[in-house]
Amino acid sequence: MLIAGNWKMNLNSSDLFEFQKLIVNEKIEKKVEIAIFPQFPQLQLAKQILSKYNVKIGAQSCSSQLSGAFTGDVSADAISDIGCDYCIVGHSERREFHNETNEFVKNSASLLLSQNITPIICVGESLNIKLQNRTQKFIHNQIKECIPDIVSSSLIIAYEPLWAIGTGRIPKNEEIMSVHNVIFNELSHVKNLKIIYGGSVNLSNCSNVLKLKNVHGALIGGSSLKFKDFLAIYKTAVKQVI
Ligand code: PEP
List, as one string, the DSSP characters of 115-173.
TTPEEEEEE---HHHHHTT-HHHHHHHHHHHHS-S---S-EEEEE--GGGTTTS----H
**What distance in angstroms lies between residue 203's CA and the mean position of ligand 1's atoms?**
13
Ligand 1 atom closest to the Cα of residue 223 is 8
Any atom of ligand 1 within 6 Å of the Cβ of 222: yes
Closest to 82 in 3D by CA, of 122, 121, 120, 37: 37
Alpha-carbon gap, residue 193 to 214, rounded angstroms: 10
Active-site amino acid positions? 91, 160
What angle (nearest 5°) sits at the alpha carbon of residue 20, between those of residues 17 and 22?
A: 120
Predicted pLDDT at 152:
78
User: Any alpha helices (H) in the chain, and if so which ranges?
Assistant: 13-23, 40-50, 76-82, 92-97, 102-114, 127-131, 135-146, 173-186, 206-210, 227-241
Any atom of ligand 1 within 6 Å of the Cβ of 217: no
pLDDT digits (tens, 9 = 90+) for 149-172: 988 789 999 999 999 999 999 999
**What distance in angstroms lies between residue 143's CA and the mean position of ligand 1's atoms?**
20
Residue type, 8: K
Domains recognised in the chain with CATH numbers: 6-241 (3.20.20.70)
pLDDT digits (tens, 9 = 90+) for 6-23: 999 999 999 999 999 999
Alpha-carbon gap, residue 31 to 1, rounded angstroms: 6
**What distance in angstroms lies between residue 184's CA and the mean position of ligand 1's atoms?**
22
Any atom of ligand 1 within 6 Å of the Cβ of 202: no
For residue 47, give Cα distances in angstroms to 40, 118, 240.
11, 16, 27
pLDDT digits (tens, 9 = 90+) for 91-148: 999 999 999 999 999 999 999 999 999 999 999 999 999 999 999 999 999 999 999 9
For atom 6 of ligand 1, the residue with the nearest CA is 221
**What distance in angstroms lies between residue 57's CA and the mean position of ligand 1's atoms?**
17
Cα radius of gyration rounded to whole Å, the chain: 17
Please name every residue paired with 157 in a beta bridge, in sequence order, or none if there are none: 121, 195
